[in-house]
Amino acid sequence: MPTRLLLLADTHVPKRARELPAQVWDAVDSADVVFHAGDWVNEELLDQFEDRAARLVGVYGNNDGEDLRSRLPLVAQTVIDGIRFAMIHETGTAKGREERADLQFPDIDVLIFGHSHIPWDSESAGGMRLLNPGSPTDRRRQPVCTYLTAVADSGQLRDVTLVPVARA
């Protein structure tokens, strides 16, 4: 049976946004697995995700304090429907990212990361898919805030979709 995935990063609540948009909470509620690649900023937001997500996979980011770091790992790894996922907040500069990812995560099919607030979808020479969902609350230099949805099905990642967040 297909597994519906939601990929988020860099929510920065309440520093960049007072709260997550309702559209994002609706996506959390409908996903089978929610990935959050760090920079939560507020422990209360993690509590809300733990209460609402069917399954949550999270890591801490550079803006997350000791309260979040004590509850979340630097790197998370999980297997969903035969797909090996890893997640980390920062991967360094864009140049050479795929090569570094292949070296750091040699047995991973999909690497999820954040930090830049810039959506990213590429494949490494080793066949690893690298995904950054952008930010649902802080678009930085992007035209809109974003997150990613995808489906894990029969060992394949499909329907990877960059979703714009509607302005309230």
Tally of structural domains, the chain:
1
Which residues on adjacent β-strands are paired with residue 156? Answer: 153
The domain of 134 spans 3-164
Query: Mean pLDDT lowest for which of 34-43, 66-75, 106-115, 135-144?
Result: 135-144
**pLDDT tens across 17-51, in order?**
788 999 999 999 999 999 999 999 999 999 999 99
Question: Which long-range contacts does 69-78 make (Cβ < 8 Å, 24+ apart)?
Answer: 71/43, 71/46, 72/38, 72/40, 72/46, 77/108
What lies within 8 Å, CB to CB, of 152 at 6+ separation is 2, 3, 5, 33, 80, 81, 82, 83
CATH for 144 = 3.60.21.10
